[in-house]
Structure 1
Amino acid sequence: MAKYIAQIIVLGTQVVAKAFARAVKQEWAASQEAARRAGGGQRGANRAAANSRTGMTLEEAQQILNVDGLQPEEVQKKYEHLFNINDKSKGGSFYIQSKVFRAKERIDEELSQNTAEASKKKEDPPKEGT
């Protein structure tokens, strides 16, 4: 009887260890893919920090507001429309309204980073001979 219990414990431990190893490999692959999509380098680090601060990726924010690019006028128009129709006093959902607000916040952060990068490039022209 003790022999069977020991075999069950050993087999159970092996199954759990294999599942854990598989989960770690999948998580590693997912994080590598996310880093690749973020662009790597300083830009990728900035994007990851923005995702962490707002709790939402840029792609998710664009899906919520139903915008394809980062045109400020289009983003503002979609934001105002979705925010107003989801007003709780009009029978809307506060949860959806808050998601719309956070999506706008995330896109605004990306736009400000892009503006800062563009102004930095203008201030620091490429050096000759490098």
Structure 2
Amino acid sequence: MAKYLAQIVVMGVQVVGRAFARALRQEFAGNQAAAEARGRAGKQSAAVSSFTGMSLQEAQQILNVSTLNPEEIQKNYEHLFKVNDKAVGGSFYLQSKVVRAKERLEEELAIQKQDKPSEQKQPHT
């Protein structure tokens, strides 16, 4: 009886182990595919996020912009900077977050501008 119970346990562990290994391989392959899809611009954007300590999504939320439109970014930046001025009862912390968000979005615009000429040079087939 104990022998059969041990065999069942061993088989169960093997099945779970194989399923776990397969799931890890699929996750790794998915991550590689996503990294390749992001390409060079994605790597630069990740580096900027790491350097500035603020992700692109966080910067967009702070400045309340959904697209990277320079005019909209500047307009929202000026409004939020004035509203959070310490002289009018605002918060210096929030004002600095607004400045950092604008810097992060400008970096992303610069990365996209660098990446566009290389995309235009490559012919699409």
Smaller-chain TM-score bracket = 0.5 to 0.7
Q: Which has the higher contact order (CA 8 A, sep 6+)?
A: 2
Distance in 2, Cα, partners of 1:77 & 1:54: 22
- Aligned counterparts, 1:112-127, within 5 A: 112-122=110-120, 124-126=121-123
How much does 1:71 deviate? Answer: 0.7
1:59 to 54, 57, 72: 57
Question: Which ranges in structure 1 are unaligned for 5 or more consecutive residues?
Answer: 1-28
SS in 2 for 1:75: helix
Distance in 1, Cα, partners of 2:98 & 2:89: 16
1:97 maps to 2:95: yes
Q: Which runs of 4+ in 1 moved over 4 A?
A: none
Once superposed, what is the RMSD of the aligned Cα atoms? 2.7
Task: Give the percent of matched residue pairs that are identical in Structure 1 and Structure 2.
Answer: 53
Letter in 2 for 1:87: D
CA distance 1:70–1:127, change in 2 (3 Å): closer
What is the TM-score of this pair, normalised by structure 1?
A: 0.64
Distance in 2, Cα, partners of 1:43 & 1:109: 11
What is the TM-score of this pair, normalised by structure 2?
A: 0.66
Question: Which ranges in structure 2 are unaligned for 5 or more consecutive residues?
Answer: 1-26
Instruction: For residues 81-108 of structure 1, give each alpha carbon's deviation from its aligned partner in whole angstroms, at most 9, with x where no partner exists.
Output: 0001111111110000000000000000
Task: Tell me how many residue pairs correspond in the alignment.
Answer: 96
